[in-house]
Structure 1
Amino acid sequence: MNPAKELLNTSLLLSLLVFRFCISLDTISPNQPIKDGDILVSKGETFALGFFSPGNSGGRYVGIWYHKVPEQTVVWVANRDNPLNDTSGLLSINGRGNLVLNSKKRSTPIWSTNASVSSTNNSMAQLLDSGNLVLVLPDNQRVTWQSFDYPTNTLLASMKLGLDRRTGLNRSLTSWKSEDDPGTGTCSYGINPNGYPQFFLYKGGTPLWRTGSWTGRRWSGAPNTVPNLTNYSFVDNQDEITAVYGFTDPTVFTRIVLDESGTIHRLTWNGNKWVEFWSFPEECDRYRECGLSSNCNPYEPDKFWCTCLPGLEPNSTHDWNMRVGSGGCLRKQGASMCRNGEGFVKLVHVKVPDTSVARVNMSLSLKECEQECLRNCSCTAYSSADETRGGIGCLSWHGDLVDIRTFANAGQDLYFRVDAVVLAQYAKKNGLTQSKSMVAILVVSIGLMLLLVVSIARWLVMRKKKAYFEESAMELERSTKNSYLPFFDLSIIIAATDNFSDANKLGQGGFGSVYKGVLDNQKEIAIKRLSKYSGQGIEEFKNEVTIIAELQHKNLVRILGYCIQGEEKMLIYEYLPNKSLDFFIFDETKRSLLDWRRRFEIICGVARGLLYLHQDSRLKIIHRDLKASNILLNNALNPKIADFGMARIIGGDQIEANTNRVVGTYGYMSPEYAMQGLFSVKSDVYSFGVLMLEIITGKKNSAYYHDGPSSNLIGHVWDLWREDKAMEIVDSSLGDQYANEISRCIQIGLLCVQEHATDRPTTSAVVFMLGNNTTLAHPKQPAFILKSTHNGKDRSISEVANSVNEVTITMLDAR
């Protein structure tokens, strides 16, 4: 053969091999190392491994990242604390069968797997589609080392965290030092095997947050906010204490990340960006927030979140009054707690105290646990260790209780030991019974109360309007006394609003007026003040107090308290300076301040808040008046659903409910609700769909369109979508950079406003569609697309809805 031709063929073959190695191989063998510039790609092209420099760093690291995600998202780093200073790095299998990272400028390895490998020349490193880098012996496929055993700041599906009792390996997450430095940071998240195991989040060795114990289904202090999509498993035996989380759809990219500040985030890739589903710690989550033997209740923010357990009092009344709860609580003097008629008070929906100091006996039932605790005078509380099979196992605490907090939709029952006096007081206050005779007394009392309520209702009907209002106000005051909300004295509100001065007035509505106020501690608040002599709003006032006080979500407006004194009835909310969403999107100038990324965040935030109301909160709540003016924006323009005066609670198994009193706003009401009074989660989904289309277009649904066959926004979008021209109505200020994502959101909006409720997606399906680039169904014809006589203004059943800075107030009574 011609030597020149042979040399050319050899060069072509080598080039082909190098090209193939750089883009397709998923393994490193003794004869196939990778250098800086090469990458490994897993078989399904999910993950890649190679050299990278994070952020503004000049150092070079070996890491693993998502291969199909445009923005490089690193999930693991090999030499995190020992970067290379140049591009001479080489990752290879050495003579002892270990994976090593070398540099031309250093004689010793920069990083190595340091695995015990019996075979010296037969190891192979392979990158799997799970994101796991494994060192295996091809002869028997035995894994001698894996990156999943040495996580950095990211937890992937199927990755174990926890302790291997046999080897002593304790897998935990550790934060990066900064966005530019993947070195081991000060924050960590891992298992604490003491007592009854639980996960702890630490910063500099100090506990920041704990998950609570494993209940058999979940971590008691970390609610699962993505139901039906994730699954968790926990193993505690003689070999290991480990936990694994999985995702039911393997095509979805999801990860849990511990950031440098000590916050854990759950993120999912939606095809364009990472969307956050939850983060911890949140309010009341920080470890020992309220000191010893106390409870942190985020539903009572201005009454001070920290509350003493029954029968206890603050260690320092002065600190407690100054909103400092770290001193905790003490038993009241003279309390006898040993075989002197004491018993247990049941605290519901709480994260049970720190279980690392708890005693565990899995052979006892809950009743046997109570008896065992009662016999031991040092036992201060007990709970079930496993809530499956009706509750098995016994957790008991002996001494001070640490880190209890109240949840709306999670937690467990905790039984706290109190003396005989407190037990009797608590039973009387809460209607608790200790015997069959007490049950009989309670039944009779309830019957008498019902008769009394009926009598009062009949009497009220015959009273004049003013008398009716006064009696309703009295009943309102009685009902609110048992709510979770703190009471604000009228003098505090007068001082905060400068005696309700016009300068502090934010707006006027059917209920009355809304004012801005500033408390003595400089905290800004919004006050919703009912008109003194209006009979409207009493039921909505009570409704809002009883419903929203139970809720806690970052996408719901927080009610801070109430005031009922004389003729004054007021609700106090957190102050949100950026007004409501309609203030922006329906204004030609202001809506340009909301680019598509911000609008999409608002859409997703509202959807997550709605999902919480429908599915994740302890109560199943239908809002019934979801609209742009009821979406408030905080400093960061994050959305918060407001105005729960029309909201209704329905049973957990109830599909829909019926009302003879249809309330809400024209343009947002679903057809089955407007025409038949039927409301359900699907009627809220309809309102959300209208809101989505308004956010995308910058136009009101009730606006009149002269150039099309349909009179409102829904019909106009539907007409254009069928002609594949839906992008023509999109707000021009959004540009065309995100055309695909906007078009997808239009289709989701149309799915939400379909005429028949059964065709509309559930709220959880909406959240999933927004967060994942899955195939969408073809929407059917929407409801309410006929000609209208409205003049472009949203109309309530009786009057125009008035939007103010913090609270949108709507007239409710049908006429």
Structure 2
Amino acid sequence: MQGQQLKNGEHLISRNGVFELGFFSPRSSTNQYLGIWYSKLPHNPEAIWVANPENPISNKSGVFSLESDGKLKITNGKGQEIVINANQGSSDSNLTATLLDTGNFVLRQVNSDGTEGQILWQSFDYPTNNLLPGMKLGMNLKNEENWTLSSWLSNEIPRPGAFELGMDPSGAGQLIIWRRGNVYWKSGVWKNGGFKNSPELTKRDDLYQFRFMSNSEEWYFSFSVVNNNSTLSRWELNAWGQIVGFILAADGSTWQQTAKIGSCITDETYPSAMCFKQNFTSCRNESVLFVPIRGYYSNLELSYIENNTNLGISDCHDRCWNNCSCIAYESLLPDETGCRFWTKQPGFVRNPNFPVVFVLVLGNGQEQTKAKGGAGESLKEQWWFWCILAIAPGLFLLLLACCNINRIKSKSLKGKDNFSFANKLGKGGFGPVYKGTLPDGQRVAVKRLARNSGQGLEEFMNEITLIADLQHRNLVRLLGCCIQEEEKILVYEYMSNKSLDTFLFDTAKRKLLDWEKRIAIIEGIAQGLLYLHKYSRMRVIHRDLKASNILLDDDMNPKISDFGMARIFGHDETRANTHRVVGTYGYMSPEYAMNGIFSVKSDVFSFGVLLLEIVSGKKNTSFHSSSEPTTLISHAWDLWQRGDVLELKDETLESCPKNELFTCIQVALLCVQANADDRPTMSDIISLLTNEVKFLQEPKEPAYAATSGISLPLPDSKSGSRSLNYMSITIMDAR
């Protein structure tokens, strides 16, 4: 109401608790903004609307108020004012400002009888970088109002960036993205319920209902959600000029679709994917890529800078692309603004705490035309350079192993049985895995990069960098690597009993896992994670812990595998944010699945799901109770509340100490609590499992618990599980 204020730390919540309005700081920024975000997700807010994107407040001194004259104002500690609705004030009637469950913040009149009156101003008319259900993208022809989205300049700065999305002002009935005022992309005209050149934007009519309106007063595009339980839904125009659609259903399932704009490569630091739509030149063609290299820093003496805080990372890319002498670039400042460029081959020093550098490589193995600065280099030469760089200091023996296995491959893997189906052990997002034998008789597992793998190349480099530095009895050992032209191979110790899922989810083999074996497997996995999180030389977040990534040796000892999606943390870091969500549906924590917030507690959540699966012998994502579809987490929580939690025990277990079973389930429920801060650390978990701590706290409601009878249609359902492999975010189903 008029005269009321909202101060730092205070929030306005929509009626059903869907949205929240208040002051927030993006990531590590010290600036404050007034914004709206999803209320029920346990995370630092990722705003879907910002009131003052170009006028940040410093020192956490912001006050938001509805003045007596009807003005919505932000005032900082120095008394400076920012008026949100400059032309919509009114002192002739009672006014109220309300945050609706649609995410719309409205200023409206209150009639004399107390009923709601005319809307004077609404946030839906002033979108930032997100389009919510019910919002319009287009034009009001009566008052010449233009509804467009503007990308953020960077992940730290919500002021308008390089890209703007709106309707074609000529009335042609299509969406257009402008880059710095120039037409960058067109969707094609609207016809038969979709856009001609971008059918992927509107193909999920089972999730969305799309609308295109054109008349004498307005033309616009909008959407609504078909499933009423899928309230957390939005389209975002990200910093790379991509249109990304998100849905998080009430049962915790997610869906995402990205428009096909330019050529994309995936990376964890920047939104969803880095996608470039560029004009080809004599020195830049379809074979040229700028690849993100993480954890290295370059020789600054070979660089030059543009210290311009109005430039985002996409601007740096554009400048480097159009300069034939440029072979690498990065953001100059910590807030991801400004640019640094290299025009000679930079010298890199390994340091996992340093940011991403984008380096020129060739995409098809051909020689690039030598241009002005002579930056061209063959792919074979460059990838040998990066392999050596990734594993160089202190890892000379691994290099020898790579070379040795390369020779072995060329001599012994040329027969008709080369990578035969009979030797195939399995397949993951990276590519197929085969059983092999070295000349000395040692059995190995050969992981081969699939040539059509969308993100295998990045995972390949990540795995070499990571696993070579990690040594623990509960982590799989990397024996060597092979890089020869297009062939990229990792060679591991052979695990005769394959992966945990082959036992756990097989009716016959599950009987071989008695309680003692299951406890040993649980404790081994916990010890491996504890090493990654606390005792290795670098703190590692695995991000894809699941039954198929737990390998079993001859004695059924567990070993964590597949580090292609892992992230290195500095030991003073506690969590990070990414727009490239990678992992497996059903094992991902809610703060990570929807908002890209991850930490050691993300792995703890995955461990909790895995613990429930080991105890019950059932998959979390394909579990069904006797009466209605649900998740294993939800079923376990229901049993816990009823006091019947021991019913979760796998029926194939002949004997099982009830106190140990109860402890395992309680620990699992502590791990999958909705709030990441409530979850225990791996140190705590091991103490709980080994009875070093006698009294366990009562678990709070877990994430994805309220799911009974609710499901969201997801693509490519198979074998009772849901596969999201084709999406731009890398959410992969367990094999």
Q: Which TM-score band (shorter chain)?
A: 0.3 to 0.5
Higher CA-based Rg: 1
- Is the helix fraction higher in 1 or 2? 1
Structure with higher RCO (Cα < 8 A, 6+ apart) = 2
TM-score (norm 1): 0.42
TM-score (norm 2): 0.46
